[in-house]
Amino acid sequence: MASCPICRKADADPKYKPFCSRRCSDVDLQRWFTGAYAIPVALDEGAQDDDEKEGLGAGQAEKPPL
C-alpha cells in the first residue's frame, strides 16, 4: 500500500493518489512552486569525477582555460 508522501499516512485516498487527501496534494503543489523539488547537482559532480579519471588515463591532469 502506498502511503502519503506528505504526511506519511498509510491510507492514501485513490482519488488523490499518491496523496491521502486534497490538502496533501495542495501541499505538494506548493513545494513545487517554492522550489523544494529543485534538481540536485549530483549530475554535475558525476561528470567531474569522469573527467578526473579520463585526465589521469591520458596523462593530462587539466585542460588549459580558454
**Contact footprint for Zn ion (CB under 5 A):** 4, 6-7, 9, 20, 24
Specify the DSSP class assigned to residue 21.
S
Our CB check for Zn ion shows the closer of 7 and 47 to be 7
Our CB check for Zn ion shows the closer of 2 and 47 to be 2
User: In terms of DSSP H, where are the helices of 1-66?
Assistant: 22-34, 42-58
The answer for residues whose C-beta is within 8 angstroms of residue 45's C-beta and 6 or more apart is none
- Name the minimum Å distance from CB 26 to Zn ion: 10
Return the C-alpha cell found at 39: 534538481
Our CB check for Zn ion shows the closer of 31 and 47 to be 31
